[in-house]
Amino acid sequence: MFKVSYKLIGLLLLANLLIAEQGSSLSLEDAVNSETRTPAYTERDQFRNPKETLSFFGIKSDMKVVELSPGGGWYTEILAIYIKEPGSLIAAHHDPSLGNYYKRSRGNFEKKMKSDEIYSKVKIVNLGSQLSENNTVDAVLTFRNLHNWLRGDIEKIFKQSFNSLKPGGIFGVVEHRAKKGTSLEQMIKSGYVTEELAIQLAKSAGFVLVGKSEINANPKDSTNHPRGVWTLPPSYRLKDVDRDKYKNIGESDRMTLLFKKPIL
């Protein structure tokens, strides 16, 4: 009979555990708490609730996900860490051919994507283009962007999102929430959008509303500010004028809506 070496068995078990851990993705909590995130971004977690928001949307590490208009990459920092093989992340950023702000913003984002190995597999496409082949994406997410698209692009972006998603795919929306009855003109001016309009536009694109959450609600936000939503942190458009007042309010009151593409 062979003698069992418990030390050898222990080493083999440890080796298998390390291999398993290397082949798996970090948990969502680990991604949110990662030290690779920008410190100024993590300070916004108290208002943006990334773990709770992504959990509500049902985002998993093996999904193919599109983030619409990621800006400076606040959520991209989390998603790039969390979503790994066989999952993938597509960032639909500004088309640089539009020039000026759009070109600078896209350039800054591309520079960020080249700054760390964690972003090496993030694919960048133009917002407004085909996001992916039809029926191939598990989830499309947008955070605080609807107001930027109200002048004409929003219906196109919603429809492209719908087309890219698999049947049953997720469309997750977080947006500054306007009071019911707010006019379209005031929405564009203030940066706040009504839930009614957001839901109407999504349904017109073919989506079905399956859930709402108050994760990102802020009852202290009246939504009535001199420079719209940009009066509040982190923008502080009034600079030092009433800064403590707006700091105490915090970031905007936000709707968090979960839609799905129907399974036909």
Question: Exposed/middle/buried for 26, CB within 10 Å: 0-12, 13-18, 19+?
Answer: middle
10 or 115, greater pLDDT: 115
Crossing angle of helices 195-204/154-164, nearest 10°?
50
- Residue 6, both tokens: 């418990």
Crossing angle of helices 50-57/74-82, nearest 10°?
60
Number of domains in the chain: 1
Q: How confident is the model at residue 17 (pLDDT cuts 50, 70, 90)?
A: very low
- The pLDDT assigned to 11 comes to 42
Q: Is residue 150 one of the residues assigned to a domain?
A: yes
Q: Is residue 243 one of the residues assigned to a domain?
A: no
Three-class secondary structure of residue 125 per DSSP: strand
- The pLDDT assigned to 126 comes to 97
Q: Is residue 1 one of the residues assigned to a domain?
A: no
Q: Is residue 246 one of the residues assigned to a domain?
A: no
Q: Which of 107, 85, 90, 108 is nearest to 38 (CA)?
A: 108
Q: How confident is the model at residue 79 (pLDDT cuts 50, 70, 90)?
A: very high
Q: Give the C-alpha separation, 220 to 16, whole Å.
A: 51
The answer to whether residues 69 and 93 touch, using CB atoms and an 8 Å cutoff, is yes
Q: How confident is the model at residue 71 (pLDDT cuts 50, 70, 90)?
A: very high
Cβ neighbors of 198 (< 8 A, separation 6 or more) are 146, 173, 175, 255, 257
Q: Is residue 19 one of the residues assigned to a domain?
A: no
Q: Give the C-alpha separation, 146 to 229, whole Å.
A: 13
Which DSSP letter does residue 116 get? S
- The pLDDT assigned to 152 comes to 83
- Residue 57, both tokens: 């949307």
Q: Is residue 57 one of the residues assigned to a domain?
A: yes
pTM of this prediction?
0.90
Which domain range does residue 145 map to? 26-220+254-260
The answer to whether residues 208 and 200 touch, using CB atoms and an 8 Å cutoff, is no
Q: How confident is the model at residue 260 (pLDDT cuts 50, 70, 90)?
A: very high
Q: How confident is the model at residue 25 (pLDDT cuts 50, 70, 90)?
A: low
Q: Is residue 2 one of the residues assigned to a domain?
A: no
- The pLDDT assigned to 1 comes to 43
pLDDT tens figures, 198-246 = 999 999 999 999 999 999 999 999 999 999 999 999 999 999 999 999 9
Q: How confident is the model at residue 264 (pLDDT cuts 50, 70, 90)?
A: confident
CB atoms within 10 A of CB 57: 22
127: domain CATH number is: 3.40.50.150
For residue 74, give the amino acid letter.
W
Q: Is residue 242 one of the residues assigned to a domain?
A: no
